[in-house]
Amino acid sequence: MKKFVFSRVLQAVPTLWVIATLTFFMTRYAPGGPFDTEKAIPQEIKVKLESHFGLDRPLFDQYLLYLKNLLRGDLGPSFKYPGWEVSELIATAFPVSLTLGVLSLSIALLIGIPAGIIAALRKNTWLDYLPMSLSMAGICLPTFVLGPLLIYIFSTQLGLFPPLGWYGPADWVLPSFTLGLFYAAYVARLTRAGMLETLQQDYVRTARAKGANPWQVVTRHALRGGLLPVVTYLGPAFAGLISGSFIIESIFFIPGLGKFFVTAAFNRDYTMVLGTVLFYAALIILLNLLVDLLQAWLDPKARQAQ
């Protein structure tokens, strides 16, 4: 197992290097620059700004310098907000996105897994049709519709929760549900599919034949295998959740990472784009590794393969 983890960490290094390199050159070759504004900047001012951010050097020198700084953990200052370091902005925004992501994922799992199990156990009954119909509706209903709808009902009309912001636990409820319900829909459908397949396996049939009660069959025997598709989905889904959702952050005015991720590209904030892309890539790699480890724990066949 240690060897497996070590080799995956080693593989991550060239992956991150390739991502950093591609992102660096793609951002530099995109039309427009960080200092383009409607009110044209005098050439001499533009030269000063470019010199301040090192953009006056040859592109390859800039690239080498960036890699050198990256090795030291220095992501540089943001072009858009020059008073802030990129790492400082990520460190401020990530805990917000992490909280939102964890809460949303918890809601997704707490709703999605039981709904999927019940649907699988009561296949082709109303207990199957109802949650599956709702989950289809959840998948089809975009968050930019659900979010304002929840705000209208629970904030504007009932006054139960704040409409926006991220200043205290009460602010967490509506965005977490908006995002969580969307993912719950997927989780429910994946759980149902996984459970249906597992429930037909020989070892589940054997457990039933031996007289295990239905709950024991589900919890001790079927669930482990039934959750495998969910676990596979969880890695990238969780990375996506905790790296921020631009739409949810815009609707609920949340100072998360998603906004930096998107606006940095629009602003040609080179260092911020690179910082957020690398951070996201590292998260994906880390979570995929965790998923593989979790799969190995859940599925003996996968363990042998590793």
Partner 1 sequence: MCTVLIFHKFHPLIALVGCLCVAWFVQGCSKPSNVETALNENILHFGLGAEPQHLDPHLATSVAAHNILSALLEGLVSEHPETLKPVPGVAQRWEKLEEGKTYLFHLRENALWSNGDPVTAHDFVYSFRRILNPNLGAQYASMLHPLKNAKLYHEGKKSWEEANVGAEAIDNYTLKITLEHPIPYFLELLNHYSWFPVHRPTLEKFDAFEKMGTPWTKPGNFVSNGPFQLIEHQINSVIAVGKNEGYWDASSVRLEGIRFYPIESVDTEERAYRAGFLHLTQSVSADRIDYLKEKYPDELHFEPYLGTYFYRFNLKSPPFDDLRVRQAFSLAIDRQRLVDKVLKGGQTPANTFTPPGTGGFYPQPQFIHDPKKARRLLDSYLSEKGLERLPPIELTYNTSEGHKKVAEALHGMWNEALGVEIRLFNMEWKVFLSTISKGEFSLARAGWIGDYVDPHTFLHMWRSGEGLNMTGWTNASYDKALKLGETSNSEKERWENFQICEDLLANDFPVLPLYFYVHLTLRHPTVRGWYPTLLDHHPYKYIYLQKEEAP
Q: What's the CA dihedral at 178, 183, 185, 189 to 10 degrees? A: -170
Residue 226, both tokens = 């039934």
CA-CA distance, 92 to 121, in Å (whole number)? 44
Binding window for partner 1 (CB under 8 A); candidates: 131-139, 229-237, 261-269, 286-294: 261-269
Q: Which of 136/160 has CB closer to partner 1?
A: 160
> Which of 160, 203, 205, 305 touches partner 1 by CB under 8 A?
160
List CB contacts of 228: < 8 A, sequence separation 6 or more: 194, 295, 298, 299
As a whole number of angstroms, the distance between CA 177 and CA 186 comes to 14
Residues 140-159 that bind partner 1 (CB under 8 A): 148, 151, 155-156, 158-159
Tell me: does residue 268 bind partner 1 (CB under 8 A). yes
Site for partner 1 contains 261 (CB under 8 A): no
Footprint on residues 219-248 left by partner 1 (CB under 8 A): 219, 223
DSSP 125-138: SHHHHHHHHHHHHH
Nearer to partner 1, 13 or 41 (CB): 41
Q: Minimum distance between the CB of residue 152 and partner 1, rounded to whole angstroms?
A: 8
Phi, psi (5° rounding) for residue 85?
Answer: -80, 150
Q: Which is nearer to partner 1, 1 or 40 (CB)?
A: 40
> Does residue 196 contact residue 120 with C-beta atoms inside 8 Å?
yes
The Cβ of residue 14 has, within 10 Å, a number of other Cβ atoms equal to 9
User: Which uninterrupted H or E stretch holds 112?
Assistant: helix 86-121
Applying the rule CB under 8 A, the residues between 1 and 30 that interact with partner 1 are 30
Task: For residues 100 and 117, give the distance between their C-alpha atoms in angstroms, rounded to a whole number.
Answer: 26
Q: How far is the CB of 10 from partner 1 (least distance, A)?
A: 33
Among 10, 40, 71, 209, binds partner 1 (CB under 8 A): 40
Residue 253 as a binder of partner 1 (CB under 8 A): the answer is yes
- Sign of the dihedral through C-alpha 103, 105, 108, 109: negative
Contact region with partner 1 (CB under 8 A), list: 20-28, 41-49, 130-138, 270-278: 41-49
Q: Is 264 in the site for partner 1 (CB under 8 A)?
A: no
Handedness of CA 43, 47, 53, 57 (dihedral sign): positive
When asked if residue 86 is in the footprint of partner 1 (CB under 8 A), the reply is no
Q: Using CA atoms, how far apart are residues 174 and 161, in angstroms rounded to an integer?
A: 7
Q: Which of 170, 200, 206, 300 binds partner 1 (CB under 8 A)?
A: 170
The footprint of partner 1 (CB under 8 A) covers 30-33, 36-42, 44-45, 48-49, 52, 77, 80-84, 89, 92-93, 109-110, 113-114, 117, 148, 151, 155-156, 158-167, 170, 173, 215, 218-219, 223, 250-253, 255, 259-260, 266-268
